[in-house]
Structure 1
Amino acid sequence: MTHSVVTADGLTEALNDLVDRVHGAEFAVVLSPDGLLLGASRGVHDELADQLSSLVAGLEALGSAATRVCVGGTLRQIVVQMARAFLFVATTRNGAILTVRIGADAEVGDMAYEVALFVGQAERHLPVYLAPASTVTTGEISAADRSR
């Protein structure tokens, strides 16, 4: 079995394609589960990437807390609706986090579809991040992990 090597160029191209497919999409980034930038579409400068890393880490933490409190299963997607934009944040099966910003006049349904499609095919472009051993063996988050 051969394994493809993840390249920054391949991920950048995939993110640019995602942004190009939906009218009104402005940028896309992919972060590792711990918030490190893995790739970005055109137009994402270093300062924006740093700000998004912090923002998305906070959103993911809130979303994960909501899944535990509300017993809702695993977190799949967060959508933030603002006056002039939407922010889609979706966790891939690989564990990476896709974030896409679209303008308020863009078709939200089209973007939701494209985000789901990208997430479903993420293993082509991204490394796999393993879950902590406590969640793998039991499927539950331990009390110690919840307190962090």
Structure 2
Amino acid sequence: MTPSVTSADTLTDALNDLVDRVHGAEFAVVLSPDGLLLGASRDVDDGLAAQLSSMVAGLEALGQAATRVCTGGGLRQIVVQMARSFLFVATTRNGAILTVRMGGDVEVGDMAYEVALFVGQADRHLPVYLQPAPTVTARKSGAPERRA
């Protein structure tokens, strides 16, 4: 099976569909693993996109640190609850980061389901990001030792 070509238009359409389909969703953005904006739903201007990129990259780093310290398995979602809204952050299998904001008067379980559904199907809309290779250190015997 040949992977489909990813375009900004198809990603934007997918994000707009997510926002339109889920009651209370206000916007959605997708970032590369290093925090660069890949796509955004309508009504996300350049200023908001820049702020979200910085903030979500920091949240993702905190979430990854929590997985190492708490040994609870891989990071699936980050949920930030505010007085009048929620922010959902989830990493796709491709390595990209989906962020969705929704109003505080909606069903959180519905949004968690929709975010998980989008993440599961994200490979149709996003490029694949490879993880960095493990570092190589020398052992006393002189043979290299691989570690992650």
- Determine which structure has the larger strand proportion and give its number: 2
Compare CA radii of gyration and give the structure with the larger one.
2
The alignment-based identity, stated in percent, is 83
Counterparts of 1:94-133 in structure 2, within 5 Å, are 94-133=94-133
- Determine which structure has the larger helix proportion and give its number: 1
- TM (norm. structure 2) is 0.90
Counterpart AA for 2:10: G
Specify the SS of the correspondent of 1:74. Answer: coil
User: 1 CA distance for matches of 2:71 and 2:54?
Assistant: 25
Counterpart AA for 2:6: V
Distance 1:53 1:141, change over 3 A: farther
Deviation at 1:81, TM superposition (A): 0.3
Specify the SS of the correspondent of 2:134. Answer: helix
Match of 1:24 in 2: 24
Match of 1:93 in 2: 93
Q: Post-superposition, which runs of at least 4 consecutive aligned residues in structure 1 deviate over 2 A?
A: none
Match of 1:134 in 2: 134
**Structure 2: gaps (5+ residues):** 136-145
Deviation at 1:2, TM superposition (A): 2.1
Specify the SS of the correspondent of 1:102. Answer: strand
Match of 2:46 in 1: 46
**Structure 1: gaps (5+ residues):** 143-148
Deviation at 1:141, TM superposition (A): 6.9
Match of 1:83 in 2: 83
The alignment covers a number of residue pairs equal to 138
Counterpart AA for 2:2: T
Which deviations, in whole Å up to 9, do the C-alpha atoms of 1:28-54 show, x marking residues without a partner?
Answer: 000000000000000000000000000
Match of 1:55 in 2: 55
- TM (norm. structure 1) is 0.90
User: 2 CA distance for matches of 1:12 and 1:73?
Assistant: 31
Match of 2:139 in 1: none
User: 2 CA distance for matches of 1:141 and 1:62?
Assistant: 22
Structure 1 stretch displaced more, 67-76 or 10-19: 67-76
Match of 1:64 in 2: 64
Distance 1:141 1:96, change over 3 A: farther
User: 2 CA distance for matches of 1:48 and 1:35?
Assistant: 14
